[in-house]
Amino acid sequence: QKEVEQDPGPLSVPEGAIVSLNCTYSNSAFQYFMWYRQYSRKGPELLMYTYSSGNKEDGRFTAQVDKSSKYISLFIRDSQPSDSATYLCAMSTASGGSYIPTFGRGTSLIVHP
Amino acid sequence: NAGVTQTPKFRILKIGQSMTLQCAQDMNHNYMYWYRQDPGMGLKLIYYSVGAGITDKGEVPNGYNVSRSTTEDFPLRLELAAPSQTSVYFCASSLGGLTDTQYFGPGTRLTVL
C-alpha cells in the first residue's frame, strides 16, 4: 500500500460545479498537508496548506483534513475552465531532522464550459 | 527573483549517452530536490540536498548522481541513459522545516531513444 493514495481521474465537470478532490494516507505521523496545482507542461505550485486537522478556506477553495480517517480533501466552488489542471496532494512529517513531503499521484481535473 | 530555473527545457538522448540537467535558485533556500514525473504517476523523488555539500537519496536514485557545491546550484547527472529515464524532470527548492513550501522549476523534458 502506498503511503498516499490519490485517484488520477480524469475528473470532468461542467463550469460552476462544486469539485471534490481527495487523498487518503496511511502514515499517522503526517502533520502538514498541502495541495499543489499543476497546469499542463508547467511545474507544480502550492495552492493551499493546512496544519493538523480542520478546515481552511481561501476564496473558492477549501482544504479539509480528517486525521482520524486519514483523509484530506480539496473543494473548489463555482469551478471555472481556468481551474483545469492536475491537483497533487502532499504531506510531510519530521524524519531524521528533515521534512521531505510525500506526494500523491495527482488528479486531473477538466472543467468544461 | 528568477526563482528556480532549469536548463535545458527539452533534450533527446541516445541510449548510453550522458548529460547533466542544470538547476539553480536565487532564493537562498537550503533545501533542493530533484523529481521525475511520469504520466499519471505523480512526482518521484530522485535526490535531495539540505545544504551545500550534503546530498541524500530519494525514492528512485539509481542511474542518477548529484552534487551540491553551492547553495544556488544542484545539477543532476545521468550516466548511461536508458529508455526508462524518459520523463519530465523537476527541480525544486525550499527553506526547509515542517511548514515548508516547495518552489518548482519549469521542468526538463527528456527523451531517451
Count of A–B CB contacts within 8 Å?
56
Say which CATH class A4-112 falls into.
Answer: mainly beta
Contact A8 B40 (CB under 8 A): yes
pLDDT tens sequence across B94-110? 987 766 789 999 999 99
- Using a CB–CB cutoff of 8 Å, tell me whether A106 touches chain B: yes
Q: What percent of chain A has pLDDT over 90?
A: 73
The amino acid that residue A84 corresponds to is: S
Taking only the tens place, the pLDDT of each residue in B53-85 is 999 999 899 999 999 999 999 999 998 999 999
List of residues 6+ apart from A47 with CB closer than 8 A = A34, A35, A36, A37, A61, A74, A87
Q: Could you check whether the bond before residue A10 is cis, i.e. omega within 30 degrees of 0? A: yes
Residues A68-94 pLDDT 10s: 999 999 999 999 999 999 999 999 886
* pLDDT tens string B18-42: 999 999 999 999 999 999 999 878 8
Q: How confident is the model at residue A95 (pLDDT cuts 50, 70, 90)?
A: low
Query: Does the distance separating the beta carbons of A93 and B98 come in below 8 Å?
Result: yes
Query: Average pLDDT in the A7-35 region?
Result: 94
Please give the grid coordinates belonging to residue A98.
528533515
Q: B100, B101, B109: which to substitute to probe chain A, counting the most A Cβ within 10 Å?
A: B100
Domains of chain B: 4-112 (2.60.40.10)
Per domain, the residue ranges of chain A are 4-112
